[in-house]
Amino acid sequence: MNMQSKIHTKNLNLFAGKQQILKNINITIPEKKVTTIIGPSGCGKTSLLKCLNRLVDIYPEMKVQGKIYLDNINILEPQHDIHDIRRKMGLLSQRPYPLPMSICNNITFGLRISGRRKKRYLNGRLEHYLRQANLWDEVKDRLKEPAVRLSIGQQQRLCLARGLSVDPDIILADEPTSALDPVSTTAIEERFEKLKSRYTIVMVTHILRQAKRIADHVIFMYLGEVIEQGPAEQVFCNPQHEKTKLYLKGAYN
Amino acid sequence: MFLSSLLIIVVLGIILFSVLKKGMPFLTWEMISQPPRGGFYFGKEGGILNAIIGSLYLAFGATTLALCIGLPVAFYLNIYLIHKKKLVNTVRFFLDLLWGVPSIVYGAFGFMIMIYFGFKSSLLAGIIVVTIFILPIMIRALDEALKSVPIGLFESSLSLGATTSEISFSIYARQCFPCIITAILLSFGRAIGDAAAVLFTAGFTDHIPTSFTQPTATLPLAIFFQLSSPIPQVRQRAYAAAVILTFIILIISIITRIIVKKYQRSIIKF
């Protein structure tokens, strides 16, 4: 199978105080595919995601060891500009956190801070990204309204559009549908299907059915360790490890 | 709980009522439109315009200065030092200590420094000392506001590639806007109502100050001096001055409420 690796980690360890959250993680995330990280709650899925864009930096007790390669650059080395690294990865969190401004400014904020301020350009981009997140038709008449007025499903799509606006290579999604209703969930999943032709998508989920629906590549984690990883068909239909089999049967839920 | 609330409301009501009852009849246009004249302190013509203007100058100056210093400090504590909880908590502890220090100590401290440098009492000295006095209040009020912003918003902004200063001024400042206004109001109230800190540092004069180096009168001191006068007409004017002070604070509160209402609609609620 010829797939290009976008991110791979080497002996990644994460400590929170004295407790070890991630143990010796070696994973490969293929480019332009949907990779889902599955596993029971508390197994370090979200922590792993936060390591990838170095959000762990802001938590005082977290210590990272090992190497994370993004396009063969180790992003844990201090000489790389952290803002550039983070800009390459859009983040979709468990519940949407729109910025406290209008819908329009939510999308253009990322562009404006990277120095693009021409009004016409911004308006064009605004429509483009809102269409990509399948939100344009719903909000085109109320772009000046505060983003809080949107429903939570719309807010999550707004956050997706906002994430896309800084032109990332990767979308990191941390249980992006856990706060949403089934219709909004389907909307986000459909978006991911469309977007994977251009972006590498890494999604954490605890819903097995969701993983089965959209995953191309699966990483199964248990208690801070990666138990099994590989193409979706292989992991779901022919798991190699005992723990994976048990999890797929529903033993850990 | 109901009784305690009732007690507070009753006490507040009595204070307001007695101030209004004693002050209102003597509140004339002359009081608020003229500085003291020749026989003012014997109950004759003139007003307390000097103290009104002086107090407003002082409170606006000090609040502006305190905001200019306090806002960056609050951002620094909550955004730049987000991964150094211990240090931040130590700073918070000392700010709380400073909050508890009585204002006369600030006044005496300011006076000491003024003597050391050979300054006379002046508007500028008053502004600086009142700024130092209200800074802990301002910083802690802003700090509490910024502390309540969920970390998810911080993470989301970081993942857009925003720098800490962009997050501070474009996102946190917006999200906390009503709280920032409340902090300003709180500090302004303390600044305009305090007598002890300005007793030595701003002095007292019958003239409206025209430069920073002149001494200035303030309303709380005007009340203090007039109340201690043996002449009844002067004492009545003290209550009128108290009414004016209360009204200034009331007007500022109402304006603040209107501003906050207007901008509250784009705040993200969690």
pLDDT at position B44 over 80: no
- Residue B201: name the closest of B103, B267, B269 by CA: B103
User: For the segment B120-170, what is each residue's pLDDT rounded down to a tens digit?
Assistant: 888 889 999 999 999 999 999 999 999 988 888 998 888 888 888 889 988
Average pLDDT, chain A: 86
| Residue ranges making up the domain that contains A228 | 5-99+169-249
Asked if A40 and A225 count as a contact pair (C-beta separation under 8 A), the reply is no
What residue ranges do the domains of chain B occupy? 22-34+46-220+237-266
Asked if A168 and A109 count as a contact pair (C-beta separation under 8 A), the reply is no
User: Looking at residue A251, what is its pLDDT?
Assistant: 65
- Mutation target for A interface from B84, B156, B175: give the one with most A CBs within 10 A: B156
**Structural domains in chain A (count):** 1
Gap between the Cα atoms of A92 and A156, Å rounded:
8
Residue A189 falls within a domain, yes or no?
yes
DSSP B210: -
In chain B, which among 130-149 make CB contacts under 8 A with chain A? none
User: Looking at residue B270, what is its pLDDT?
Assistant: 63
pTM over 0.80: yes
Size of interface A-B (CB pairs under 8 A): 88
User: For the segment A194-213, what is each residue's pLDDT rounded down to a tens digit?
Assistant: 888 888 999 998 888 888 88
Residue A136 falls within a domain, yes or no?
no
User: Looking at residue B82, what is its pLDDT?
Assistant: 84
Gap between the Cα atoms of B115 and B109, Å rounded:
10
**Cβ–Cβ contact B87 with A under 8 A:** no
Contacting residues of A for B262, CB less than 8 Å apart: none
Query: Which CATH number fits the domain B22-34+46-220+237-266, given the four candidates 2.60.40.1180, 3.30.70.360, 1.10.3720.10, 3.30.70.20?
Result: 1.10.3720.10
pLDDT at position B232 over 90: no
Judged by CB atoms closer than 8 Å, whether chains meet at B161 and A60 is answered as: no
User: For the segment A39-69, what is each residue's pLDDT rounded down to a tens digit?
Assistant: 888 888 888 888 888 888 888 888 888 888 8
Judged by CB atoms closer than 8 Å, whether chains meet at A146 and B84 is answered as: no
**Cβ–Cβ contact B150 with A under 8 A:** yes
Mean pLDDT of A233-238: 87
Residue B111 carries which side chain, given as an amino acid letter?
Answer: F
CATH of the domain at A60: 3.40.50.300
Gap between the Cα atoms of B236 and B17, Å rounded:
15
Residue showing tokens 């509160």: B253
Average pLDDT, chain B: 88
User: Looking at residue A253, what is its pLDDT?
Assistant: 54
Judged by CB atoms closer than 8 Å, whether chains meet at A113 and B161 is answered as: yes
Task: Give the range with max mean pLDDT: A110-114, B96-100, B256-260.
Answer: B96-100
Residue A212 falls within a domain, yes or no?
yes
- Residue B218: name the closest of B137, B125, B134 by CA: B125
pLDDT at position A1 over 50: no
ipTM: 0.84
Structure tokens at B136: 């802990």
Percent helix, percent strand, percent coil in chain B, to nearest 5: 75, 0, 20
